Amino acid sequence: MSKPMGAIPADFRGEGGMLLIGGRRCDDLVAEAGDTPLFVYDLAMIDRRMARFRGAFGGIRLHYAVKANSYQPLLRHVASKVDGLDIASGGELKLALEAGARAREIAFAGPGKRDSELAAAIRHDVTLNCESEGEAERALAIAAGLGRTPRLAVRVNPDFEIRGSGMRMGGGAKPFGIDSERAAALVRRIVDSGADWRGFHIFAGSQALESAALVEAQSKALALAAKLADEAGAAPPSVNLGGGFGIPYFHGERPLDVEAVGEALSEALKKRPQILADTSFAIELGRWLVGEAGVYLTRIVDRKESHGKTFLVTDGGMHHQLAASGNFGQVVRRNFPVAIANRFGALAEEKASIVGCLCTPLDRLADDVMTPKAGPGDLVAVFLAGAYGLSASPQHFLAQQPALEMAVGGGG
Amino acid sequence: MSKPMGAIPADFRGEGGMLLIGGRRCDDLVAEAGDTPLFVYDLAMIDRRMARFRGAFGGIRLHYAVKANSYQPLLRHVASKVDGLDIASGGELKLALEAGARAREIAFAGPGKRDSELAAAIRHDVTLNCESEGEAERALAIAAGLGRTPRLAVRVNPDFEIRGSGMRMGGGAKPFGIDSERAAALVRRIVDSGADWRGFHIFAGSQALESAALVEAQSKALALAAKLADEAGAAPPSVNLGGGFGIPYFHGERPLDVEAVGEALSEALKKRPQILADTSFAIELGRWLVGEAGVYLTRIVDRKESHGKTFLVTDGGMHHQLAASGNFGQVVRRNFPVAIANRFGALAEEKASIVGCLCTPLDRLADDVMTPKAGPGDLVAVFLAGAYGLSASPQHFLAQQPALEMAVGGGG
């Protein structure tokens, strides 16, 4: 019996059996890049996602979570179109500045910020989302030493999570942010210190596909922000409501109804408490913006049979696409959508397993899937490779050839 | 309730509360390296492992599996003392040659070898472990084009596995090697082609801790090699019996009784079939040689409480030590052994979770373990970091600061 795979994003089409990415034949893209494996990111798809967000969330600021994909041409493109960048390290600060982001539109979250990272952020007027009282004190001391007024927000560990989210970031004991019952006191400390208090960052989960769960979480985040502001006696200039918008990776998963979430948030904002009247709101998205826009192309090197099973061995693998191998937070491995890129749309006529070139049984790209007949020289496309792909994979494992990256489309 | 962790290897001691690695204080090592996170590898421990192998396996060639750790100073040290290196990519070929290995003592296994990798190996007289008939034909054609006699061994997918091994590499349909019923025909093809047939490579599993399971697998590998040689009518110059020697990572696991394995193999070899009389035998070890000799040192950046739970947030994490976070082939996350390195041996007086600096709940180094009280500035040691550590981790994730590496000890 074959195993199912996730759905290929509807944006992708073939022409004469060849997968097109950003309107271009994928064999041409490989020829232009010079080799496989190759990640291709379709910037026009990202543009459509941003436009869809703008349509559904009028008046809400759109932030991009750099950690999803910091490939410089992609980041530059996205940075020019969003209202802010969320970073998670000093390295991402450099990447964001290189991409042309305005430092005052950058916010830095992450539970283990070093002193040197705090100093760099303060020097650039980047907003620090304080993850603990201790970190806030370090930031204040460093800012005093530098003679600067730091921009400080408070990251709250909310006492709720997004129901059914792929990763729980709130609800219970967490290393992220500070527990909500201590947040108001920290706001007071920041305001009293003379720092520029920027507001709250409330992140309750990620990779959610149910709109009702997101609506509920956003509504709770709004209420929490108001309650904390009241307690602190200070209106937040800005509230980052987190993100959590998921994309369907696996068989049976359905896309998020983003418009339903936007509509509910718009309603909730109309009725928001007075203390949030002048607050600006942001949603921080990574995966949902760029995940579906990336395709990982790898070439079949060998076709072999073993005990009646067909293996297509590629020149890529888990060292570039760890998540597709099932080793990135998944408990049970399931198949990402894949295709034989140069027989795109052809009849799936045989069952095969597509594996990587690493000498480990962990290196599986697709297990027992139905594919058109394929062999050495053919190209395999692994979809949903735009977020948490190359940068989240052990690229140096087995000293294999590095993957190439390329951005296409997105005229302006 | 706290959760258990694996046992710290018995080689490690403290002095005045400071962990020593290779006889040196770990705070001095960090000062010398210049920063954390830092991997330190104790070459003297690796020497002791090699000596123990030699004592237990007289007459068996010792190969090192480069993929376990290819840090150049470590690789150079090990390469000078073992009888052969096993590599898994063209990149590892370069690393092995740079480390001073003699090319004729290198063997290349891996299911997805590119033509360019085959050509490089053939040019250097490196032995190719052929993983399929198709790969053997490619190698023969490339060798003919280069006007060279290739050194070809046959990697066999055995019809057995090491019972209880951490990763199954044999038994059933596999992308590695060719099924044993087709191996003799491939040997004939290689011999008849005029290539230099080097013998068999039979790898049945890894990370085994039960000596009886290894004894059984080696005995079966021996019998399989004899049977295939008989079928092919050709005596193998060499047989690589694989490796599979495990190390205890988790609570309750016990070290492998290597001497028992060596004794049984020695007995089995005395009674080996005539066709293997002049065969040389190799065992290929990676993890067992170097895994326990590595320590990952990371500094605590923040100490925080959330809902009654204590978190120690470090400047390292899963981007350097993916396996310790539970995201490298594990189904259930369990704790690697860890310690507060500058309170080594001190009373464990509180329960804490040690997490990395990444902004993801996957980034856990130790969950609810008992530790001496620790806070910012203290050093955390994560043990068993010598194999499949840095190179098997997503180093570029979140653009965090890279880890440093250092080798100590091993005077000769």
Angle, helix A90-98 to helix A115-123, in steps of 10 degrees: 30
d(CA B207, CA B247): 7
Instruction: Say yes or no to pLDDT of B301 above 90.
Output: yes
A360 interaction partners in chain B (CB closer than 8 Å):
167, 329
pLDDT at A331: 75
Which of chain B's residues have a Cβ under 8 Å away from the Cβ of A307? 172-173, 179
Q: Which two tokens stand for residue A391?
A: 């940068």
Q: What is the dihedral of CA A251, B167, B42, B315, to 10 degrees?
A: 20
Tell me which residue in A112, A353, A390 faces B315 most closely, judged by beta carbons: A112
The two structure tokens encoding residue B271: 């009674």
The answer to whether the Cβ–Cβ distance between B353 and A176 falls below 8 Å is no
pLDDT at B199: 98
Contact criterion met (CB < 8 Å) for B89 and A357: yes
Q: With cut-offs at 50, 70 and 90, classify the pLDDT of residue A163.
A: confident
- For residue B412, pLDDT over 60 is answered with no
In angstroms, rounded to a whole number, what is the distance separating the alpha carbons of residues A239 and B266? 70
CB contact under 8 A, A398 and B135: no
Residue A172 binned pLDDT confidence (cut-offs 50, 70, 90): confident
Which CATH number, 3.30.200.20, 1.10.1240.10, 3.40.50.150, 3.20.20.10, labels domain A70-285? Answer: 3.20.20.10
Q: What is the pTM of this model?
A: 0.97
User: Looking at chain A, which residue has its C-alpha nearest residue B402?
Assistant: A91
Are A198 and A235 a contacting pair, CB within 8 Å? no
Count of CB pairs separated by less than 8 Å, A with B:
221
Chain A residues whose CB is inside 8 A of the B327 CB are 327-329
Query: Tens digit of pLDDT for each residue in A8-44?
Result: 999 999 999 999 999 999 999 999 999 999 999 999 9
Q: From residue A128, how far is each of B161, B351, B352, B355 by CA, in Å?
A: 53, 29, 26, 20
Domain boundaries, given as residue ranges, for chain B: 13-41+291-408, 70-285
pLDDT band at residue A168 using 50, 70 and 90 as cut-offs: low
Q: Name the burial class of residue A347, with classes exposed (0-12), middle (13-18) and buried (19+) by CB atoms within 10 angstroms of its CB.
A: exposed
CA atoms within 13 A on the CB side of B118: 27
Over range A293-297, report the average pLDDT: 98
Hey, what's the torsion of the CAs at B139, B141, B143, B145, to 10 degrees? -150
Residues from chain A that touch B401, judged by Cβ atoms under 8 A, are: 89-91, 114
Split at pLDDT 50, 70, 90, the class of A332 is confident
| Cβ neighbours of B396 in A, within 8 Å | 390-391, 395
How would DSSP label each residue in B344-377? TT----EEEEEE-SSSSTT-EEEEEEEE----TT
Mean pLDDT of A203-221: 95
- Among chain B residues, CA nearest to A159: B307
- Asked if A219 and A212 count as a contact pair (C-beta separation under 8 A), the reply is no
Looking at domain A13-41+291-408, what is its CATH homologous superfamily?
Lyase, Ornithine Decarboxylase; Chain A, domain 1 (2.40.37.10)
Looking at residue B329, what is its pLDDT? 78
Q: Per-residue pLDDT averaged across A123-136, rounded?
A: 98
Q: Nearest 5 degrees, angle CA A376-CA A381-CA A386?
A: 145
Residues A243-252, mean pLDDT to the nearest whole number: 96
Q: How far is B189 from chain A (nearest CA, A)?
A: 17
Distances (CA, A) of A388 to A21, A296, A329, A333, B333: 19, 12, 12, 17, 21
- Would the CB atoms of A167 and B91 count as touching at under 8 Å? no
Task: Tell me whether residues B111 and A355 touch, CB distance under 8 A.
Answer: yes
- Given a cut of 60, whether residue A412 has pLDDT beyond it is no
Q: What is the mean pLDDT of chain A?
A: 96
Tell me the sheet residues that pair with A283: A62
Hey, of B303, B333, B360, which one would you mutate to test binding to chain A, going by the most A CBs within 10 A of its CB? B360
Residue B39 Cα, gap to closest chain A Cα (Å): 16
pLDDT of residue B178: 96
Give residue-wise pLDDT tens across range B76-98.
999 999 999 999 999 999 999 99
Residue of chain B minimizing CA distance to A156:
B306
User: Are A112 and B314 inside 8 Å of each other by CB?
Assistant: yes
Interface residue of A35, A133, A159, A302 to substitute, partner B, most B CBs within 10 Å: A302
For residues B321 and B39, give the distance between their C-alpha atoms in angstroms, rounded to a whole number: 10
Of the partner residues B173, B331, B391, the one whose CB lies closest to the CB of residue A309: B173
Residues in B touching A306 (Cβ below 8 Å): 157, 172-175, 178-179
B312 contacts on A by Cβ (under 8 Å): none
Looking at every residue in chain B, the average pLDDT score rounds to: 96
Task: Please state, in angstroms and rounded to a whole number, the distance separating the CA atoms of residues A157 and A175.
Answer: 8
Residues of B3-36 as b/e, b for ≥16 C-beta within 10 angstroms? eebbbbbebbebeeebbbbbebbbeebbeebeeb
Residues of B in contact with A167 (CB under 8 A): 360-362
Phi, psi of B115 (to 5 degrees): -55, -40
pLDDT digits (tens, 9 = 90+) for B154-205: 999 998 988 876 665 566 899 999 999 999 999 999 999 999 999 999 998 8
CB–CB of A180/A156 below 8 Å? Answer: yes
What's the whole-number mean pLDDT along residues A212-227?
97
- pLDDT greater at residue A361 or residue B261: B261
pLDDT at B9: 97
Q: For A307, which DSSP code? A: T
Neighbours of B66 (CB within 10 A): 27
Q: What is the mean pLDDT of residues B304-319?
A: 97
pLDDT at A164 over 80: no
Provide the 8-state DSSP code for B301: E
Q: Say whether pLDDT at A194 is over 60.
A: yes
CB contact under 8 A, A132 and B304: yes
Task: Read off the DSSP letter of residue A157.
Answer: E
Verify whether the Cβ–Cβ distance B353 to A67 is below 8 Å.
Answer: no
Q: Rounded to a whole number, what is the distance in Å from the CA of B271 to chain A's nearest CA?
A: 31
Minimum mean pLDDT among A58-62, A152-156, A170-174, B331-335: which range?
A: A170-174
Closest chain A residue to B171 measured between Cα atoms?
A307
Q: How confident is the model at residue A171 (pLDDT cuts 50, 70, 90)?
A: low
The pLDDT assigned to B166 comes to: 66
In terms of Cα–Cα distance, which of A357, A237, A110 is closest to B397? Answer: A110
pLDDT of the residue at B168: 58
Cα separation, B180 vs B160, whole angstroms: 10
Per-residue confidence (pLDDT) for residue B331, from 0 to 100: 75
Q: What confidence tens digit (pLDDT) does each residue in A315-330 have?
A: 999 999 999 999 887 7
Residue A283: pLDDT band by 50, 70, 90 thresholds?
Answer: very high
**Dist CA B358 CA B314 (whole Å):** 9
To test the contact with chain A by mutation, choose from B156, B287, B301 the residue with the greatest count of A C-beta atoms within 10 A, namely B301
ipTM score for this prediction: 0.96
Q: Closest residue of A to B66, CA-based?
A: A398
